[in-house]
Amino acid sequence: MKSIEDLGDLQGKRVVIRCDLNVPLDGETITDDGRIRASLPTLNALRDAGAKVVVLAHLGRPKGQVNPKYSLAPAAKRMSELLGVEVKLAEDVVGPSAEALVAGMSDGDVVMLENVRYEPGEESKVEAERQALADKYAAFGDVFVSDGFGVVHRKQASVYDLAKKLPNAAGKLVYNEMQVMKQLTEDPARPYVVVLGGSKVADKLGVIDNLLQLADVLVVGGGMAYTFLKAQGYEVGSSLLDAENIETCKKYVEQAEAAGKKILVPVDTVVSPSFPSGDGPFEKTVVDSDKIPSDQMGLDIGPKTAALYAEAIKGAKTVFWNGPMGVFEVADFADGTRAIADALTQVDGLSVVGGGDSASAVRNLGFSDDQFGHISTGGGASLEYLEGKVLPGIDVLG
């Protein structure tokens, strides 16, 4: 996999770069600009080299339709502020506005095309449709740089097909992400602890299958924990339950025991009569995990579990974490996720926050990026790589 340093002299060349600017919005206000910040090292390097930089990115799921709700305008505005240079946003993706802006670029300029997912060909399952759109992207550039790690697991026109059309390289973000992923999968320093949260076991089956071979300890939290508790025969009340995978969870526990590994599940749980809505404060109780009332739901790991998990994490040399421990968006149910984040900051080794909700959680809870070894910008891509899957957007790079 080539880096941008392998592309040679970029002075005056047009570089089409795929970034991941899929930031969370509250109206038009960006609530977490981490992905934009993560794109800056590559963008600055390209500008310093005298390149004309054409940014491709997406926001949300407009499903091939132009929808102002998903405009990249907030991302272009924030990128302008962070770069200290105007990032001009085209009114379309591959139409007259995009063509005019790209044609008028000077060395060091940055132009952003509108949301690539406005184009039906971007996510098409028909290769010819993606190729046709990729040809239009390629007409804007001399070289292609892949720097959107959050989309490299997608076979999409701006991620996969475009890379076949132009000389290509990985941007600094993608290159660094892949180095970290290799550290997690190729002879990781031990003890190796994997922390998995989030809602459903089904979302993490492939990861658990693969990481039970690699990791020493698997720590389970979030909504998926209740399926593991149910597998032990416990009452889980109205907690989130992936009923189809109860037997699978039993097998995972047996498999871990046979291999001399540990799967840690919550020993106590924060429960409430209903899912929180409104401003709160909310009724909540801490109970042992084998005593969850039938009319209550678990919304966070309890303090004993938080301490148990933190101890396992702090004693590790490699930690990968993906998925919150509870409903962290609500302060009353954020303590478990905060405890995991705090423990990761104390790891004497490699600590990796695996993108998605976990990355948003640590920032929203007041942690800074530099307190962790690495915060991934791609939750889905990270998980698929850890499952052992081939990432099309990486595989295609020369």
Torsion sign (Cα): 349, 309, 229, 191:
positive
**Furthest-apart CA pair in the chain: how many Å?**
67
**Pairwise CA distance, residues 38 & 365, whole Å:** 19
pLDDT, residue 333, reads 96
370 is in an annotated binding site: no
47 is in an annotated binding site: no
223 is in an annotated binding site: no
pLDDT, residue 41, reads 98
**Pairwise CA distance, residues 186 & 375, whole Å:** 19
φ/ψ of residue 193, rounded to 5: -115, 130
Residues 2, 77, 200, 317: which is the catalytic one?
200
Question: pLDDT exceeding 70 applies to what percent of the chain?
Answer: 100
Cβ proximity of 111 and 55 under 8 Å: yes
pLDDT, residue 356, reads 75
pLDDT, residue 75, reads 98
Cβ proximity of 265 and 220 under 8 Å: yes
pLDDT, residue 385, reads 93
pTM reported for the whole predicted model? 0.89
Determine the length of the chain. 398
pLDDT, residue 359, reads 87
Using DSSP's 3-state secondary structure scheme, residue 143 falls into strand
**Pairwise CA distance, residues 219 & 262, whole Å:** 8
358 is in an annotated binding site: yes
pLDDT, residue 100, reads 98
Cβ proximity of 101 and 88 under 8 Å: yes
56 is in an annotated binding site: no
pLDDT, residue 203, reads 84
Strand order through the sheet with 268-272? 285-288, 268-272, 297-301
21 is in an annotated binding site: yes
Q: Could you confirm whether 200 is annotated as catalytic?
A: yes
**Pairwise CA distance, residues 49 & 42, whole Å:** 11
The tokens for 30 are 């960006």
pLDDT, residue 201, reads 83
Residues 6+ apart with CB under 8 A from 282: 272, 276, 330, 332, 333
Residues 336, 356, 378, 379: which is the catalytic one?
356
Residues 13, 14, 18, 35: which is the catalytic one?
35
Residue with tokens 């085209």: 90
pLDDT, residue 73, reads 98
78 is in an annotated binding site: no
374 is in an annotated binding site: no
DSSP-assigned beta bridge partners for residue 111? 54, 88
Helix (H) or strand (E) holding 322: strand 318-322
Segments of the chain with pLDDT less than 70:
none
pLDDT, residue 131, reads 98
Condensed to tens digits (0 to 9), the pLDDT of residues 295-336 reads 999 999 999 999 999 999 999 999 999 999 999 999 999 999
298 is in an annotated binding site: yes
Domains and CATH numbers, the chain: 4-174 (3.40.50.1260), 187-387 (3.40.50.1260)
Q: Could you confirm whether 35 is annotated as catalytic?
A: yes
pLDDT, residue 357, reads 81
Q: Could you confirm whether 50 is annotated as catalytic?
A: no
pLDDT, residue 198, reads 87
